Amino acid sequence: MAVPGAPAVSSASSAFSVSSSTSTTSSASTASPASSGADDVIRTSGLTKRFRGGQLAVDGLDLTVPRGSVFGFLGPNGSGKTTTIRMLMGLIAPTAGVATVLGEPMPQSVGTVLPRVGALIEGPALYGFLSGRDNLARFDAADPTADPRTRRQRVTEALERVGLTAAAGKKARAYSLGMKQRLGLASALLQPRELLVLDEPTNGLDPQGMREIRALVREVAAEGTTVFLSSHLLDEIEQVCTHAAVMSRGRLLVQGTVAELAARAQGRLVVRTPDVAQAAEVLAAHHVAGLQKGEGRVDGGLDAPADDVLPGICAALVAAGVRVHGFGVERGTLEDAFVALTGEGFDVAG
Ligand SMILES: Nc1ncnc2c1ncn2[C@@H]1O[C@H](COP(=O)(O)OP(=O)(O)OP(=O)(O)O)[C@@H](O)[C@H]1O
Ligand SMILES: [Mg+2]
């Protein structure tokens, strides 16, 4: 999707080649706002975007993305993910607040920062009349840091990595949505980058394609690139990310490691027993809420840490003569955490 009014960037999707830049190294990161943040690849403070017409798309965002993380930026449709990414990449100016990317302020430093970043934002901008391979060659040619002598090899390798080798000669206008998405991803992977920013990278892909992209993200991360990816798919974030932040209606609800976030969701206690009614009575009296009775089982949410309350519940069941066939806690998922945080399902309009 084209980005209207995008400054200084050759396309909405590309590897963000910026004409004025020269190659920079990571040691150039001198503009970190705080010493503790020297190892943060992205930092924002009070970042806010109000669009003309009054829409408050991003509201006072304080985000910290540690170097080396695979960071999932999670939120339902319209929660402000793309708007945030566009501010981070210098495509639009914030209404208030500040952002640093690779230690340098944005959008002031687009010229030095963007050559160090591979990005795919809301679908790639492609020339339909050119083949996939030629589109990639154009993106590469627009990158002043890319050596033309090794272009062919870079393009071939990027096509290979995203599984487009067989379709490389086909005109981009004949590409499916998933193929276009892969080509956009290939453009972000033409060069090794310090940071990869992917806005909904699996959008339009089939399940096999999604698996491939997840594998690719892990591979790129293992090579030392920090990956910042947005998604509205909780299980995708859970499978691939080390860290996550959850957005809702322009505001940041929570951020941290995926393990920390999932741990916020208290698990559900599940008791398997033929004595369902009796077991339910005991659980109701012992820190278990939202009881659900099923065939041979009863379950409910714990309102206290499992380690503190499980021994007492177990003893009470036995004391009441309940025949316990199974007793355990199902791990909380990110989705449970999200519902606990917002009190609503995930797929809500923003
Ligand atoms: N150019 C614009 N002008 C006015 N409002 C906008 C503009 N771009 C986005 N918005 C509004 O800002 C809010 C956040 O949109 P944004 O695209 O950032 O959400 P998102 O989290 O990326 O959603 P999705 O998951 O659907 O991609 C929405 O309410 C949207 O309608
Ligand atoms: Mg979006």
Q: What is the average per-residue pLDDT within 26-41? A: 49
| Closest ligand 1 atom to 4 CA | 1
CB of 21 within 6 A of ligand 1: the answer is no
| 266 contacts 302 by C-beta, under 8 angstroms | yes
pLDDT at position 332 is: 65
pLDDT at position 253 is: 87
CB of 67 within 6 A of ligand 1: the answer is no
Distance from chain centroid for Cα 350: 17
pLDDT digits (tens, 9 = 90+) for 190-238: 988 999 999 988 888 888 888 888 888 999 999 999 999 998 877 788 8
pLDDT at position 264 is: 67
Residue carrying the six token digits 């409910």? 300
CB of 51 within 6 A of ligand 1: the answer is yes
Strand 70-74, strand 96-101: pairing: unpaired
Does 28 score more than 70 pLDDT? no
Q: Where in the chain is the domain with CATH 3.30.70.100?
A: 266-331
Helix (H, G, I), strand (E, B) or coil at 233: coil
Q: What is the CATH number of domain 26-262?
A: 3.40.50.300
Integer CA distances (angstroms), 30 to 88, 195, 343, in order: 18, 17, 42
Q: How far is the CA of 119 from the centre of ligand 2 (A)?
A: 14
Q: What percent of the chain has pLDDT over 90?
A: 50
Task: Give kind and range of the element (H or E) at residue 278.
Answer: helix 276-284
Q: What is the CATH number of domain 266-331?
A: 3.30.70.100
Which residue has better confidence, 309 or 50?
A: 50
Q: How far is the CA of 64 from the centre of ligand 2 (A)?
A: 19
Query: DSSP string spanning 8-23?
Result: S-S-SSS----TT---
For residue 100, give both structure tokens: 């640093």
Does 305 score more than 80 pLDDT? no
Q: What is the average per-residue pLDDT within 270-285? A: 95
Integer CA distances (angstroms), 16 to 100, 116, 149, 192, 320, in order: 17, 9, 20, 13, 67
pLDDT at position 35 is: 40
Which residue has better confidence, 272 or 340?
A: 272
Does 5 score more than 70 pLDDT? no
| 132 contacts 172 by C-beta, under 8 angstroms | yes
pLDDT at position 318 is: 95
pLDDT at position 301 is: 83
Quote the CA–CA distance of 286 and 124 in Å, as a whole number: 54
Q: Where in the chain is the domain with CATH 3.40.50.300?
A: 26-262
Strand 117-120, strand 288-294: pairing: unpaired
Give the residue, out of 48, 59, 61, 82, with the most ligand 1 atoms within 8 A of its beta carbon, to mutate for a pocket test: 82
| Closest ligand 1 atom to 80 CA | 18
CB of 29 within 6 A of ligand 1: the answer is no
Which residue has better confidence, 135 or 254?
A: 135
Q: What are phi and psi of 32, to 5 degrees?
A: -60, 135
Please report which confidence band the pLDDT of residue 345 belongs to, taking 50, 70 and 90 as the band edges. low
Q: What is the pTM of this model?
A: 0.75
pLDDT digits (tens, 9 = 90+) for 120-179: 887 668 899 999 999 999 999 988 888 999 999 999 999 999 999 999 999 999 998 888
